Amino acid sequence: MTKPVIGFIGLGRMGAPMAKNLLAADHPLIAYDIVPDKVEALVEAGAKAGSSCRQVARESQLIISIVPDSPDVEEAILGAEGVIQGVSAGDVLIEMSTIAPGVGRRVAAALDEKGVPMLDCPVSGGPQGAEAGTLSIMSGGPEETFQQYLPVLQVMGERIEHFGPSGSGYMVKLCNQVGCVITIQAVCEVLGLAAKAGLDVRKVWQTVGSGLAASRIMELLGPKMLERDYAPGFTLSLQEKDLRLVAAAADELEMPLPATTLVHQLIRSLSAKGKGELGTQALILALEDLANCKVEG
Ligand code: NAD
C-alpha cells in the first residue's frame, strides 16, 4: 500500500507520541490540535502544521483523531470546522479516543453518508505504550477497512484486534477500563493495608508484586504510589469520564458492576477535592483518607 497522507488530530499525552511514531515510519503527516504549541512540537518532529480539523481532512486521505471525550469528538469530526466538512469519498477516519459507543456510531453514520468509512480504535497502554508503539488497539467498524489500514495501526500498537461493527472497539475499551480501575484499587488496598500494619511497604510491593497478585498496574503504578509521585500519565478526570461511559453502558444493559461503581465513587471524591488532574495512582489518596494512614516507601 502506498503510504497515505495522514491528518492527525489531538496531540496530547497519547496523540503526540503516536503521531511521532507515524512520522518515524515515514508517513507524511499533517498535525492539528486546538493548542498551537502542541502543533509546533510536532512540526519540529517533521510534521506539516494543520490549521483546523476541516483543513487537515481536506489535505489528507487518512484522518486519525485522539481527543478527550465524546463532545470533543463531535466537535472535531461533525463541527462547523470539523473533519466532515473537508473529507472526500474514499477517505477514512480512524477514531482512537475513548468515547460513548453510541456517539461513535452516530459519527460513523454521518461520515458513511459521505462515503467515508470510520473505524473506532481506542487504545490501552498509556503514554509509555504510545511512545514505544506497543499499544493495545480495539477496533470496530468495517472489517475490510480494518484489514486495509492494519499496517498503519501496527506502527502504533502491538496487540490489535477487530471486534465487529461500529462501536465494538469503544465497548471493548470500556471493558478494559473496568479491569484497570479495579486493579488500581487492588494495588491501593495491598499497599494501604501494609502501611497500616507498619510493614516495609516497598518490600511488600516487591514480594506481592512477584506472586499471584502481580499485574502491569502493580508494576507501573505501585512505585509511583510509594514515591507519592502523582504526575499524570492518565488523569483521574479522564478516568472518571471513562467510568461515566461504563456506567451508562451498564445501565443500558442492566449489568451490575459493584466493584467498578465503588471505585467510581472514590475517584469522584478526589475530583470533588480538586485532585482530578492528578494521575490515576492518586487513587491511593482516597484510601489514605478513609484509613487515616500514609503510604510511602
Ligand atoms: P490529553 O488531554 O493529554 O490530550 C487530548 C488533546 O486533544 C489535547 O492536546 C487537546 O488540546 C486536544 N483536543 C481537544 N479537543 C480538540 C479538538 N476539537 N480538535 C483538536 N484537538 C483537540 O488526553 P490524552 O491523555 O492524550 O487522552 C486522549 C484520549 O485517549 C482520551 O479519550 C483518553 O481517555 C484516551 N486514553 C488515554 C490514555 C492515557 O494514559 N493518557 C490511555 C488510553 C486512552
- Which of the four CATH numbers 3.40.50.20, 1.10.1040.10, 1.10.3720.10, 1.10.240.10 does domain 171-291 have? 1.10.1040.10
264 CA → ligand 1 middle, Å = 20
Catalytic residue among 20, 38, 114, 173: 173
Indicate the pTM of the whole model.
0.95
CATH (one of 3.20.20.150, 1.10.3720.10, 3.60.20.30, 3.40.50.720) for 6-165: 3.40.50.720
Whether the CB of 126 sits within 6 Å of ligand 1:
yes
Query: Ligand 1 centroid vs 192 CA: distance in angstroms?
Result: 31
Give pLDDT < 70 ranges for the chain: 1
Q: Active site includes 224? A: no
Contacts of 155 (CB under 8 A, 6+ apart): 21, 22, 25, 27, 133
Cα(53)–Cα(77) distance, integer angstroms? 7
Phi first, then psi: what are they for 24, rounded to 5°? -65, -25
Q: Give the C-alpha separation, 88 to 281, whole Å.
A: 43
Distance 96 CA to ligand 1 centre (A): 9
Instruction: Indicate whether residue 12 lines ligand 1 (CB < 6 A).
Output: yes
For residues 239 and 181, the answer to whether their CB atoms sit within 8 Å is: yes
- Report d(CA 70, CA 74) in Å as an integer: 6
**Hey, where are the domains in the chain?**
6-165, 171-291
Give residue 1's pLDDT.
62
> 76 CB less than 6 Å from ligand 1?
yes
**In this predicted model, what pLDDT tens digit does every residue of 117-166 receive, in sequence order?**
999 999 999 999 999 999 999 999 999 999 999 999 999 999 999 999 99
Amino acid 214: pLDDT: 98
Strand bridging mode 92-95 / 62-65:
parallel
